[in-house]
Amino acid sequence: MLTLVVCDISICWQKRKGALIAMGDDATGTVLRALADPHRRAILRLVAHRELPASEIAQAFDVTRTAVSQHLTVLKKAGLLIERREGTRRLYQTYPAGLDGLRTYLDDLWASALDSARRQVEAERGLSESDQAQPAG
């Protein structure tokens, strides 16, 4: 797969499979990029309810320990995992608050989409924003 990345001062645009995707430098963009990989999403599900050592996480996947370690690093940097050391072991658990920025972004996006759909329906019916809704029946 060929990926083209073009950057200006504040935003990188990535072209994949004919789609142009804006990738901001903010925390939400970092979280979205971290969640884009199916292995990382699986790791988050695996450690969602209990701490697990890196070795046990690695056993759950058919990839090298180095690859799992790299996935854990990406998830930590995105603020989605908590790492705790216990002697020589490193224990990992999902950090749910790391998704707060993404949750806010999606809530805003959803609200905007609903508002746009409402305006389109009202326009098709010939209603303006100042018109009151007619009671049903």
Query: At 136, is the pLDDT very low, low, confident or very high (cuts 50, 70, 90)?
Result: low
Q: What is the pTM assigned to this prediction?
A: 0.66
d(CA 18, CA 3): 10
Domain 27-123 class in CATH: mainly alpha
Provide the pLDDT for residue 92: 97
Q: Which residues contact 31 (CB under 8 A, 6 or more apart)?
A: 78, 79, 80, 98, 99, 101, 102
CB 51 within 8 A of CB 84: yes
Tens-place pLDDT, residues 26-85: 888 899 999 999 999 999 999 999 999 999 999 999 999 999 999 999 999 999 999 999
* Residue ranges of domains in the chain: 27-123
Work out the end-to-end distance of the chain between its first and last CA atoms, rounded to an integer number of angstroms.
Answer: 56
Q: Which residues contact 56 (CB under 8 A, 6 or more apart)?
A: none
Tokens of 56: 């046990």
Tens-place pLDDT, residues 78-118: 999 999 999 999 999 999 999 888 888 888 888 888 888 88
